Amino acid sequence: MKGWRESLPKWGVILLAGVLSLAIGSVFILVVGGNPLAAYRQLLLVPMSSKSGFGELLTNMTPLLIAGVGMAIARSAGLTNLGGEGQIYMGALGMFLVCSSDLADTVGKPVLLLGAVVAVAFGAFWGSISGALKAFFRANEIITSLLLNYIAVNFIGYLIRGPLQEPSGMVPESSKIGEGLRLAKLIASTRAHTGIVLAIVLIVLYEFFIYRSRVGYRIRVLGGGEKAAVYSGIPIKWYHLGVMALSGGIAGLAGGVELLGVYYRLTETMAGDIGFTAVVVALLGMLHPVGIVLAAMLMALLNTGAQFMQVISGVPITLVDILQGLIVLFVLLGLSFQLPQLKRKEG
Amino acid sequence: MEPLLEMRGIVKRFGSATVNDHVNLTVYPGEVHALLGENGAGKSTLMNILYGMYQPNEGMIRVRGKEVEITSPKVSLAAGIGMVHQNFMLVDTFTSAENVFLMADRPFWSLTRKGQVAGELTKLSEQYGIEVDLTSPVSKLSIGMQQRVEILKLLYIGADILIFDEPTAVLAPQECDALFEIIKKLVANQKSVIFISHKLEEVLRISDRITVLSRGRVVEDTANENLDQAKIVEMMIGEAFRTENVEKTHQTRQEVVLSIEDVCAADSRGVQTLNHVTLQVRRGEILGIAGLEGNGQDELMDVITGLRRCSAGRIAMAGKNLTAASGETFVREGVGYVPSDRNNVATVRKFCLYDNWLLRRKQRETGHYLHYRKIIRDTEEAIAAFDVRTSGSDAVTENLSGGNLQKFILGRELSKEPKLLACSNPTRGIDVKASWAIRNRILQAKEDGMAVVLASGDFEELLYLSDRILVLYKGMIFAETTPEQTTVNQLGSMMMGVKPV
């Protein structure tokens, strides 16, 4: 449980960071010969005001929110999971295997429950590798999780060129899953799907798990300092292992949902940058459930609006990467300026 | 005589709180000036201003009659002000001479060589009677010796005003005497010393002048004449203060709570620092553990509370074997612990108080789902009962002063009604009033039938509270005694491995 009072000044920092990064971003737009006001209108307002834009926004937001929760759980324990990418691919693989099995043909839609379990299990397995290396060999989870991404993406690359390739053998991708298994559309003639409902449920569960349960409390103690965790009787190694597995499992679920709601097949580009952006979502959201939703929305907005901006104003899409970078930079800068004030002692 | 240092009308505010309220401090050459006050009285802030860590909101500082603006520790050093910190600022793997060379911070084209530095240091150490080993790495030196390196370092850089921040907290009595000899030599050479300590007898012994701060103001600035401890305490807290208000009995009960046999343990570097220790603690008994830093008492306390596994031996709580048990099992079996590191071990700094209220609690108490309404109520009751001065149960823990935080921690541990309470330096760095409040609570817990293990570097505390005292030396039990049979000096000798005659 975190008081809103404590978080408030931080929200101010984030707002200021947004304004500053837009200001600096406009310099870049001017440099490439665009009109900053028009570009920002397409970047920020069009996705919110048009049906197709809003549909795209929700589509982009769903995996960010799910994976963001996974990354936030790792951060709560003081761990940084940079392996979201790989865990998403593994989760998508798990979901695909279930959906393309004979079982799916006979059972129909309820098989998705099994699919979700397998997607979580695949992601959790991938995350727990880093967790185990951390717990038992003191290997830095940032590095191991990052490097495991390459193994996962290349493993998928092998599968969709070999055993799982679509029958014609022309393109490096799998065949599509059955239409009956796909997630229902939320808004007609857009890509938005019901996965966002799952994401919202997940964020509520996150609040209860991390801020209201004993295990979540212990995860936060571990994030607050290992010494205090030892003092509290927390078995640190098992928590490292478990938290990385849980974090990876949720990222895996994001992969499964992407497969069911957007791509319907395995490709080697489906994770995009979701795994990394999700880390940014968790940090920007300051591990707070509402913060995570807002951060996921902002990142999705930037990604969605970028497409409109490029088409209408001819401002290159890479500018959005610059903006995202600037926002993260300014927020971190702003928060670090705040820290010294927090350190004073009460009289 | 012209003052060496003058601080005039220093005001420092943090937000709405005024931590220093028009503070004046005048230090003359050749003077030991003690600075006294409870925690939170504003001593550290004042010294941090003098040391360039904080800028005052108002007021000015004059050194040798010349106004200086101390914007950083570097400026402070250049003005001749140096601080001997509680945690020494030394690089462990460097020798003393190398440390001094590093601190002197010469430009890279400087032709000064380490050898020259060592030569000058030898001269300085003879002049002031400071014995140091200049050739071994600092990590191999005793704590007292490291402190002397710090002093020498400041002298080499040319400090005239030396601030000692609780210099005796880590020293044995004999080492304290040596330190006081050095301080006397310093002032004989027209250096000035600002001496910060919570130990009043030391202050009375060493200082020429005493300035007492309370709630950010100077309440007394007086020469050290016709003063005694009671008078100083009165100045500090503004009321006559009774120190002993819990009757002490020796009604140790029979049931053994903790029993350890032949226990060995290694420290975090893997060096075995606890060697075959056997002891028992009974209900209603306070067992004191005396020992110099690094003689195994930290490891002993960690082993009996489940924070560290022993490498050999047996541990049993109320007859139950806990030798290879997890930390969680110790918590479940009712082992409360007040560790010496309040900020990083006993609490999570960035948590608010009610979150820290849950630390080291067994699952049967908290349940799987946390009922924060009840937790906040319990926290607030404890804050009131233990007189923790804070803005409320949602205050961020790291904003509490040491004494208030320690009262909170003790309150939390006692609220668990443990069978065994382990306390490690429970009053280190805490002001007089809070210290006595804490000691009396510990005494009360014992009277209520708790078994208590108390490791402390404060001899008077050990003698006052303990029923029995074990002296640890090089990780072994060197002697067992009782407060009636021993004195502070005897205790000090035993801690250094000398049997009293």
The domain limits of chain A are: 4-340
Name the nearest CA neighbour of A90 among A135, A45, A149.
A149
What pLDDT shows up at residue B238?
Answer: 60
Q: For residues B199 and B297, state if they share a domain.
A: no
Looking at the domain assignment, is residue B338 inside a domain?
yes
Per-residue pLDDT tens for A204-233?
999 999 999 999 999 999 999 999 999 999
What pLDDT shows up at residue B470?
Answer: 96
CATH number at residue B175: 3.40.50.300
| Range of weakest confidence among A66-70, A294-298, A324-328, B74-78 | A324-328
Cβ-based burial of B35 (10 A; exposed 0-12, middle 13-18, buried ≥19): buried
Per-residue burial over B69-99, b = 16 or more CB atoms within 10 Å of its CB, e = otherwise = ebeeeeebbbbbbbbbeeebebeeebbbbbb
**Cα–Cα distance list, B474 to A30, B291, B297 (Å):** 72, 9, 10
Looking at the domain assignment, is residue B244 inside a domain?
no
Please indicate whether residue B310 or residue A331 has the higher confidence score (pLDDT): B310
Q: For residues B109 and B194, state if they share a domain.
A: yes
Band of the pLDDT at A122, cuts 50, 70, 90? very high
Distance CA B303, CA B264 (A): 9
Residue A44 pLDDT exceeds 80: yes
Band of the pLDDT at A342, cuts 50, 70, 90? very low
Q: Are B420 and B281 in contact (CB under 8 A)?
A: yes
**DSSP-assigned states of every residue in B77-116:** HHTTEEEE-SS----TTSBHHHHHHHHH---TT----HHH
Q: Considering the entire predicted model, what is its pTM?
A: 0.78
Q: For residues B197 and B286, state if they share a domain.
A: no
Which residues of chain A from 286 to 345 reach within 8 Å of chain B, CB to CB? 342-345
Q: For residues B228 and B261, state if they share a domain.
A: no
Name the nearest CA neighbour of A96 among A196, A194, A174.
A174
- Structural tokens at position A237: 């190694």
Chain B: give the shortest CA distance to residue A329, in Å. Answer: 23
Band of the pLDDT at A89, cuts 50, 70, 90? very high
Interface contact B408, partner A, CB < 8 A = no
Chain B hits for A6, CB-CB cut-off 8 Å, are 352, 394, 396
Inter-chain residue contact A214 with B391, CB threshold 8 Å:
no
What pLDDT shows up at residue A10?
Answer: 66
Looking at the domain assignment, is residue B200 inside a domain?
yes
ipTM comes to 0.86
Residue to mutate among B340, B361, B370, with most A CBs inside 10 A, is B370
Distance CA B422, CA B413 (A): 10
What pLDDT shows up at residue A3?
Answer: 47
**DSSP-assigned states of every residue in B344-400:** TTSS-TTSBHHHHTTTT--HHHH-SB--HHHHHHHHHHHHHHTT--SS-TTSBGGGS
Looking at the domain assignment, is residue B197 inside a domain?
yes
Chain A hits for B359, CB-CB cut-off 8 Å, are 221, 228, 231-232
Please indicate whether residue A345 or residue B73 has the higher confidence score (pLDDT): B73
What pLDDT shows up at residue B250?
Answer: 63
Inter-chain residue contact A344 with B367, CB threshold 8 Å:
no
What pLDDT shows up at residue B501?
Answer: 62
Interface contact B40, partner A, CB < 8 A = yes
Segments of chain B with pLDDT less than 50: 239-243, 245
Which residues of chain B from 336 to 355 reach within 8 Å of chain A, CB to CB? 337, 339, 341, 344-352, 355
Q: If you average pLDDT over every residue of chain A, what do you get?
A: 89
Q: Which residue of A has its CA nearest to B44?
A: A345
Q: Which residue of B has its CA nearest to A208?
A: B369
Under 8 Å CB-to-CB from B160, ≥6 apart: which residues? Answer: B4, B29, B80, B81, B190, B191, B192
Band of the pLDDT at A339, cuts 50, 70, 90? very low
User: Domain A4-340 is of which CATH architecture?
Assistant: Orthogonal Bundle (1.10)
Distance CA B40, CA B403 (A): 9
Looking at the domain assignment, is residue B43 inside a domain?
yes
Looking at the domain assignment, is residue B243 inside a domain?
no
Under 8 Å CB-to-CB from A275, ≥6 apart: which residues? Answer: A67, A82, A83, A84, A85, A86, A87, A88, A149, A251
What pLDDT shows up at residue A9?
Answer: 63
Per-residue pLDDT tens for A134-189?
999 999 999 999 999 999 999 999 999 999 999 888 899 999 999 999 999 998 88
What pLDDT shows up at residue B102?
Answer: 82
Per-residue burial over B277-292, b = 16 or more CB atoms within 10 Å of its CB, e = otherwise = bebebbbbbbbbbbbb
- Helical packing angle, A274-284 and A236-258, nearest 10°: 120
Q: For residues B23 and B79, state if they share a domain.
A: yes
Chain B hits for A4, CB-CB cut-off 8 Å, are none
**Cα–Cα distance list, B498 to B117, B298, B481, B483 (Å):** 36, 21, 14, 18
Of B206, B237, B268, the one marking the end of a domain is B237
Q: For residues B207 and B260, state if they share a domain.
A: no
Name the residue range of residue B391's domain.
256-495
Looking at the domain assignment, is residue B368 inside a domain?
yes
Name the nearest CA neighbour of B382 among B348, B346, B406.
B406
**DSSP-assigned states of every residue in A52-121:** HHHHHHHHHHHHHHHHHHHHHHHHHTT-----HHHHHHHHHHHHHHHHTSHHHHHH-TTHHHHHHHHHHH
Structural domain count of chain B: 2
Q: Which residue of B has its CA nearest to A227?
A: B345
In the predicted model, what is the mean pLDDT of residues A14-20? 80
Q: Are B466 and B458 in contact (CB under 8 A)?
A: no
Looking at the domain assignment, is residue B404 inside a domain?
yes
Inter-chain residue contact A233 with B401, CB threshold 8 Å:
no
Q: For residues B217 and B266, state if they share a domain.
A: no
